[in-house]
Structure 1
Amino acid sequence: MTPPTPPAPPASPHALDAHLRIDRAAFRLDLPLTAAPGEVLALLGPNGAGKSTALRALAGLLPLTAGHLRLDSTTLEDPATGLHTPAESRPVGVVFQDYLLFPHLSALDNVAFGLRCRGADKKTSRTEARPWLERMGLAEYAESKPRALSGGQAQRVALARALAVRPRLLLLDEPLAALDARTRLEVRAQLRRHLAEFEAVAVLVTHDPLDAMVLADRLVVIEDGQVVQSGTPSEISRHPRTDYIARLVGLNLYQGTAEGRTVTLPDGEQLFTTEELTGAAFVAFPPSAVVLHRTRPESSARNVWQLEVGGLDLHGDQVRADLTGPLPLAADLTPAAVAELDLAPGTKVWASVKAAQTHAYPA
C-alpha cells in the first residue's frame, strides 16, 4: 500500500522571511528579519551596527555567508545550496540617500529606466512611468532634468522610479537625509502616504528617530550586528533596553535590581519609583521630568542628587543640560530657567525627579 503523501508545510505568513548572516574579518551580522505584507520595518542603530550591510544583503549586492532570504515564499538566497539571485533579478526597488538620478535623463526617463531594464520598450516604459510622476505631484516636471529639480522633487522622482517596477521589497537608504528641515517635513508626510498604500514590504534604514517613528510599523534596533530590541514605535519608546535606544527616544535610562519600589544601581545609587518589581529592572524618565535647583530642594521628590553641569546645548526650543556626578543624566530647561539658575559648565546644582515621573519595568 502506498503511504499517503505528507501535507505540504504551511505557507509562511511573512512576505519577507530572512536570516542575514555575513561574516567579515572583524564583524559579524546575524540578523533574523521577518515582515508581513504591507509592513514597513525601520532598521536603527549606531554607526557600524550593520544597517547598511543588511540593506546591501537584501538588495543582493552582498552575498550571505549563511542563513537564507525568502520573499513571497520564493527563496532568493540560500548559501547552503549555493543559491544567490543577482541584484538585477530580484523584485527589489531601492531609494538612495543621494537620489542617484541619471543627470542626462529627464524625470520621466529616470522613472522609466527600471521598466526599460525589465524589458519594456521606450514608448511603453514612458507610458507606464508617467502615472507614477503624477502620483508624486510631479507631472509638470516630466521633461525636466535632475539639475532643474529641488532636493524634495528629486527624491520623489527616485521614489517613483523604485515603485514603478512594482517591487515586492522596497529598500529605503536614509531617504530623507539629504533634505533640508522644511523639505524633509513635506517629503516625510508624502512618503508616509505612499508607504501606507504600498502592499509589499518596505525596509527603511535611518539615523533619524523621528523618520522611523513616523514611517515605520515596527522598529528593529541593531547594535554590533545583533538585534537588541524589536517592536512597535510605542513599545520601543516606552521600554528602551539599551543606552543607545534611550538616547534615541530621549530618555534617561538606568539598570539595576528592584525590590519593591526601589531600584538599586550597581554603584549603590537608588532610584524610587511607583511600580513594584523584584529582580533585574530598568528605570527610565524623560529629561523634562528633571527639576534643577541651586540649593538642596525641600520638595516631595524622593529622587534627589547633587550634580555638576557638564554641558549645555540647544535642543529644539529647550536647553539640554548634561549633568555629571553620582547619577549622570540629561535635563531639559527653558532658556529663561537657564538664565535664572545662572547655569554654565562646572556649575553645581541639585537635581530632583518625582517617583511618579519615573517608569520601571523588568530587564
Structure 2
Amino acid sequence: MTALLDAHLVAERDGFTLDVRLRIAAGEVVALLGPNGAGKTTALRVLAGLHPLAAGHLTLDGADLDRPDRRVWTPPERRPVGVVFQDYLLFPHLSALDNVAFGPRRRGADKRAARARAKEWLDRVGLGDQARRRPRQLSGGQAQRVALARALAVDPALLLLDEPLAALDARTRLDTRAELQRHLGAHPGATLLVTHDPLDALVLADRLVIVEHGRVVQEGDAATVTARPRTDYVARLVGLNLHRGRADGHAVTVGELTLTTADTVHGEAFVAYPPAAVALHPSRPEGSPRNVWAATVTGVQRHGDNLRVQLTGPVEVAADVTPAAAAHLGLIPGRPVWAAVKAAETRAYPA
C-alpha cells in the first residue's frame, strides 16, 4: 500500500525528544495512542506545521513539507492539512457557515464560492439548518461536526483529529463517534487520530500506533495489538495482565514464579491473560493443573458489574471477581489470598 503520508518526525520540545516514523495510506485512518507525555500532541503539532522538525522528514502526497537537511519548511496555511482540535477552536464571532467557509477563503476562493462549499459540508454533516448559528448556540456534538466540516472543506490530503470526542458527554459521544466513523470512511486522504481512548481508536482506526516516551513501542491492526500487547501501557489499554520472562517450551519464568502456558515459546517472552481468568481462593487450591501463587490484596474497585482486585506477590496482577465472591473472601487491602490461572487461559509469545 503506497503511503500518502511518509514521515520521520524528530522534534525537540521542553527537553523532550520525539522520534517517530509514520506512514499512512490514502483512505487509511491511523490512531496514535499513548499515555500523557508520550509525544502525541508534539507529533500532531509537527504535522500541522506548528512546530518544526529538528531532523527527519515530512512528505505528503509526494511533496516535502518539512525536511531540515534541505532547509525545506512549509507554513501551516500552505499545507494541505485539516485539523480538528480537542476544543474545536471555532471562531466565536462567526456563524457556523462562515466558520466552515474560512478555510476555502484562505485558500483563495471568493466569498460566494466559499460559502457554497461551506453549505455543502454543513449539509453533509447534518447541520444545514444550523448555518446561521454561532458556536455558543451549538451543542457540543454540533460544534464538533462544524469543526470537522471546516477541516474537510479544504479537501485535505491529511486530516488530523486531536481527541475529537473528549469534550462530549457519554451519550453525545456515542452518536458522534458513529457519525465520525461514516465521514472518515468517505475521506479519500490520510487521517491521523490522536487519542487516549481505546474505544475511539478501535472503532475509528484501521491501524494503531502506540507511542511511549517519544518512541513507537507497538503498531498493527487492532486484533494484533489487543491480542499481543508489548508494554504495560498497552496491556492496561486492552485490559490484560502482562508479564515478561524467559520461556522454555510451555514454561515461562517470571522472576521467582514459573507459569505454565498453552503456547510453546523459547527465549524472552511475554505472558498475557485477562483479569477474568484469575481465580482467587482463601487457601491453596487443589485439583486440575494450574498456575497457583500466594498474593496479597492491595486494592479493590468497581469494574462494570464486577470488582477489580489488585494483587501483589511474585507478580503484580489484576483479578475480576463478583461482589458475592469478594464478600465471601473478605477482600480488603492486606488480605492474603491464593491466585490461580489455568494454562489454557494464558497466551505466550516472543518478546
SS in 2 for 1:15: strand
Matching residue of 2:319: 331
Does the CA contact (< 8 Å) of 2:39 and 2:211 recur in 1?
yes
Matching residue of 1:317: 305
Residue type matched to 2:233 in 1? Y
Matching residue of 1:86: 75
Does the CA contact (< 8 Å) of 1:176 and 1:184 recur in 2?
yes
Q: Distance in 2 between matches of 1:182 and 1:333?
A: 28
* 2:303 is equivalent to residue 352 of structure 1: no
* 2:45 is equivalent to residue 64 of structure 1: no
Matching residue of 2:266: 278
Q: Distance in 2 between matches of 1:18 and 1:359?
A: 34
* 2:31 is equivalent to residue 42 of structure 1: yes
Q: Distance in 2 between matches of 1:147 and 1:200?
A: 31
1:101 CA drift (Å): 0.9
SS in 2 for 1:132: helix
How many pairs align? 351
Residue type matched to 1:207 in 2? H
1:317 CA drift (Å): 2.7
SS in 2 for 1:67: strand
1:98 CA drift (Å): 0.5
1:213 CA drift (Å): 1.0
* 2:344 is equivalent to residue 343 of structure 1: no
Q: Distance in 2 between matches of 1:260 and 1:205?
A: 39
SS in 2 for 1:162: helix
Residue type matched to 2:51 in 1? L
Matching residue of 1:228: 217
Gap change, CA 1:38 and 1:314, over 3 Å in 2: same
Q: Distance in 1 between matches of 2:318 and 2:277?
A: 10
TM-score (norm 2): 0.97
SS in 1 for 2:120: helix
Segment drifting more, 294-303 vs 12-21:
294-303
| Seq. identity, % | 63
Matching residue of 2:165: 176
Residue type matched to 1:13 in 2? T
Where has structure 1 moved over 3 Å in runs of 4 or more? none
1:25 CA drift (Å): 5.8
Q: Distance in 2 between matches of 1:160 and 1:174?
A: 16
Segment drifting more, 40-49 vs 89-98:
40-49
Matching residue of 2:240: 251
1:27 CA drift (Å): 2.0
Does the CA contact (< 8 Å) of 2:256 and 2:314 recur in 1?
no
Residue type matched to 2:238 in 1? V
Q: Which runs of 5+ in 1 are unaligned?
A: 1-11
TM-score (norm 1): 0.94
1:24 CA drift (Å): 4.3
1:343 CA drift (Å): 1.6
SS in 1 for 2:3: coil
1:340 CA drift (Å): 3.0
Gap change, CA 1:162 and 1:254, over 3 Å in 2: same
Residue type matched to 1:354 in 2? K
Matching residue of 2:137: 148
Once the two structures are superposed, residues 98-147 of structure 1 have per-residue CA deviations (whole angstroms, 9 ceiling, x without a partner) of 01111111111111111111122222211111121111111221111111
